[in-house]
Amino acid sequence: MIENRPIITFIAHATLILGIAIVAFPIWITFVASTHDAVRMTQVPLPLWPGDQFFANLYTTFTVGAGGGNTVPVGMMMFNSLIVALMIAVGKITISLLSAFAIVYFKFPFRMGFFWMIFLTLMLPVEVRILPPFKVVADLGMLNSYWGLSIPLIASATATFMFRQVFLTVPDEMLEAARVDGAGPMRFFWDILLPLSRTNIAALFVILFIYGWNQYLWPLLITTDSSMFTVVMSIKQMLESAEQAPEWHLIMMTSLLAMLPPIVVVLSMQKMFVQGLTETDK
Amino acid sequence: MLKRVHFGTSILPYLLVAPQIIVTLVFFMWPAGQALYQSLLIEDAFGLSTEFVWFENFEVLFQDKLYFDTFRRTAFFSVTVAGIAMGAALMLAAMADRIVKGALTYRTMLIWPYAVAPVIAGALWVFMFDPTLGIFVYFLNMIGIDWNHKLNGDQAMSLVVMASAWKQIAYNFLFFIAAMQSIPKSLIEAAGIDGAGPVKRFFTIIFPLITPTTFFLLVVNVVYAFFDTFGIIHAVTQGGPAKATEILVYKVFNDGFVGLDLGGSAAPSVVLMVIVIGLTVIQFRYIEKKVEYA
C-alpha cells in the first residue's frame, strides 16, 4: 500500500465483505433449508436461520434418498461420483504423463501428428458432440458402467500440454546422467521424471477431481440404471419431482452433500488448486 | 519441442501414446467426423434413406429465423455473463490487492463457488427464486415486483445470467489478483509519489498492465457461457419459457437428444465446433506469447 488512508482501506474491506456475503448467500440459504423439516419449508417466508432437523435430513437423504421413494440413496450416488471422479482424474493424469513423455523424449515418425491430434481434442468439449459419442459408447456396451462414465472423458489435451511444458524444463543432463548409469527409458520416467513432476501432478489432480465430480450432461445421457447415478446428475430429477411436491429440505441437503467434496478439496488444498488452475489455463 | 538428448526410435513411444490416441480417436475424432458427415446429409422422416446434399443443411440453418434468434440470444447471454462475472471479480480483486492483512482469508472465502457444479448452482438459484416460496421472490413481492421466471422470459434470462455469473466470479478473481500482484510495486509507488490517487493509479497503471489477463479471461468466460452453463440452464429453465433462455448448446441437446433429429442437429453442432475452435485458437495464440518454449 502506498498511502495510509483509512477510509479507502475501510471501503476495500467493506466491498470485499459485501462481495463475500453475496457469493456465500446462496450456500447459506442451502444450508438453512437443509436444517428444517418439510412443513417449515412450505411456509412463506422461508427461514433465514438454521433449524434443528439437520441430522434427521442428513440421515434420510444419505440412506433413503430424496423425492418420494423413487430416488436412490445419496450415499450410494456419492460413492458412484467418487469412483468416477477418481477414475477420470487418475486416468487423465496417467495417459497424459505417458503421451507427454513419448512426445518430448522420443524421436519417432508421426510424433507431431500425434501431438496435434491430442491438441485437437481440446477444441471439442463433450457438450458439442452429444449424440455421436453416445452412440459409440452404446455400441461398445459401456452404458450404465463406471467405464462408460469415465473413459470417454479421460483424453486430455490440457494435461498433456502441461506435462509437456514440465518435461521441457527438466535439464538434459538428467537424462545423460541416467543413461551413463544404465537406466532405460521407463526407469528414467519412473525414477526421475515422476518425482520431478510430483507437485504438478498433485495440482492437476485437484482440478481434475472437481472436473470429474461435477460432470453432468455425460452421466445424464449414458446412465439409465439408478444404481449408476451420480449425485450431481440426480439434482435435476429431484427438481423435477419438486414441481409436484416440493421437498426442498431434502433437495437442498442433497445439493449440500453434492458440493461438499469438491469444496473441501478446494479449501483444504488451496495452494495446489490455485497452482493447478493457473498452470493448466483450463 | 523435442529434447536435444532423447531416445531413439523403437516400439515404446507408440505404446506410450497409444491409450491417449485410442481414446481420442474413438470418442473424439470418430464422433466429430460423424457429426461433420451427418451435417451434409438429409434423412427422411422415418430415417430409412439418406441423401447427400452438400451444404444445404447449413443454408437452411442460416436462413432459419429461429436459429438466428438463438444465435443472438447466445451472444447476449455470454457477453452479459462475461461482463458481470469479470466486472465483479475485477472490483473485488482491486480491493483485495490493496489489503495487506487478511488478503488470503478473503481469497479463501471468495474462491469456493468454483467447486460448485453448474447444475447445483442452478438448483440453488431456482430455490431462491422459486415463484411461490423463494426467499428473494418474497422480498421482491414486498417492493411490488412480480416474479415468475417460469412465465416471464426476461426474468428467466436474468436468473440464468445471475447463476452463471455467480459461479464464474471465483475463477476470474483468482486470475485478476494473480495478475495484479505480479505488477512491480515500484511502478505503483512511483505513480503515488507523483500524486496519482488510488483510482487514477488503477485506471492508468494497473488496468492497462493486466490487459493480457483480461483478454484471456474474456475468451475463457465466453467459452464458459457457451458450454459450461448447460447444467444451469437445464436445471433452471430448460431453455424456456418459450425458448427465452435456449442458447446454442441447449438447442443442440434439445433437437438432437430430446427431439431425436439427428441430421438437423448435426449442422448446428458443426457450427458450435467451428466457434469453439475459433475461440481456442485465439486463446492459444495468447498463451503462445506468454509461454516460453524451450
The interface predicted TM-score of the complex, written ipTM, equals 0.84
| DSSP E strand boundaries for chain B | 41-43, 50-52
CB-CB neighbors (< 8 A) of B222 in chain A? none
Taking only Cα atoms into account, the Rg of chain A, rounded to an integer number of angstroms, comes to: 24
CB atoms A216 and B29 under 8 Å? no
3 state SS of A230: coil
Q: Percent of chain B, pLDDT > 90? A: 10
Nearest CA-CA distance, residue B37 and chain A, Å: 11
Tell me what the mean pLDDT of segment A7-36 comes to: 85
Whole-angstrom distance, CA of residue A232 vs CA of residue A234: 5
Nearest to B226 by CA among B50, B27, B76: B76
Under 8 Å between Cβ of A104 and A165? no
Q: Which of the pair, A134 or A282, is modelled with greater confidence? A: A134
Distance from CA of B164 to the nearest CA of A (A): 12
CB distance from A266 to chain B under 8 Å?
yes
Segment 56-95 of chain A within 8 Å of chain B by CB = 94-95
Residue B291 pLDDT grade (very low, low, confident, very high; cuts 50, 70, 90): very low
> How many other CB atoms are found less than 10 A from the CB of residue A208?
26
List own/partner pairs for A190-195 with CB under 8 A and 24 or more apart.
Answer: A193/A101, A193/A167, A194/A97
pLDDT at A248: 79
* CA gap A103, A101 in Å, rounded: 6
* pLDDT greater at residue A45 or residue A210: A210
Q: Which of B278, B122, B87, B233 is nearest to A127 (CA)?
A: B233
Question: pLDDT of B54-100, one tens digit each?
Answer: 777 777 777 777 888 888 899 999 999 999 999 999 999 988 888 77
Angle subtended at Cα A150 by Cα A149 and Cα A151, rounded to the nearest 5 degrees: 115
pLDDT score of B96: 86
User: Residue B292 — very low, low, confident or very high, per pLDDT cuts 50/70/90?
Assistant: very low
Contact B116 A259 (CB under 8 A): yes
pLDDT at residue A167, rounded to an integer: 87
Question: Does A59 score more than 80 pLDDT?
Answer: no
Shortest Cα distance, chain B CAs vs residue A1, angstroms = 6
Instruction: Band the pLDDT of B260: cuts 50, 70, 90.
Output: low
**Alpha carbon distance A64, B42 (integer Å):** 48
* B109·A111 Cβ contact <8 A: no
Reported confidence tier of residue A244, pLDDT bands at 50, 70, 90: low
Shortest Cα distance from B270 to chain A (angstroms)? Answer: 8
Per-residue model confidence (pLDDT) at position B263: 60
pLDDT (average), residues A88-106: 90
Give the CA radius of gyration of chain B.
24
For position B45, what pLDDT does the model report?
59
Q: Average model confidence (pLDDT) for chain A? A: 81
**CB distance B88–A155 less than 8 Å?**
no
Between chains, do B115 and A262 touch, taking CB under 8 Å as contact?
A: yes
Partner residue facing A155 (CB), from B23, B35, B228: B23
CA-based nearest residue in chain A for residue B4: A172
Residues 17 through 46 of chain B touching chain A, CB cutoff 8 Å: 17, 19-21, 23-32, 34-35, 38
In the predicted structure, residue B120 carries a pLDDT above the cut 50: yes
Q: Range with the lowest mean pLDDT among A1-10, A158-167, A231-240? A: A1-10
pLDDT of residue B46: 63
Question: Taking the domains of chain A in order of start, what are their residue ranges?
Answer: 74-278
Closest CA to B256 of A133, A125, A214: A133
Q: Any CB–CB contact under 8 A between A123 and chain B?
A: yes
Cβ B279 vs Cβ B222: under 8 Å: yes
For residue A147, the number of C-alpha atoms closer than 13 Å in the C-beta half-sphere is: 8
d(CA B265, CA B260): 8
Q: Is B282 on the interface with A (CB under 8 A)?
A: no
pLDDT in tens, A153-194: 887 777 888 888 888 888 888 888 888 888 888 888 888 888
The DSSP output letter for B51 is E
Q: Give the C-alpha separation, A120 to B287, whole Å.
A: 16
Q: How confident is the model at residue A91 (pLDDT cuts 50, 70, 90)?
A: very high
DSSP class of B238: T
Q: Which helix (H) or strand (E) holds B22?
A: helix B12-24
A199 CA: distance to closest CA in chain B (Å): 19
Q: Chain B residue with minimal CA distance to A113?
A: B21
Cα A122 to Cα B198: distance, rounded to the nearest angstrom: 41
Contact (Cβ atoms closer than 8 angstroms) between residue A155 and residue A121: yes
Judged by CB atoms closer than 8 Å, whether chains meet at A131 and B257 is answered as yes
Distance, CA of B124 to CA of B32 (rounded, Å): 34
- Return the pLDDT at A126: 59
Query: What angle (nearest 5°) sits at the alpha carbon of residue B265, between those of residues B235 and A215?
Result: 35
Give the Cα separation of B34 and A129 in Å (integer).
9
Q: Where are the domains of chain B?
A: 43-293
| pLDDT range class, residue A267, cuts 50, 70, 90 | confident
Determine the topology of domain B43-293 in CATH. Answer: MetI-like fold (1.10.3720)
* N-term to C-term CA, chain A: 32
- CATH topology (fold) of A74-278: MetI-like fold (1.10.3720)
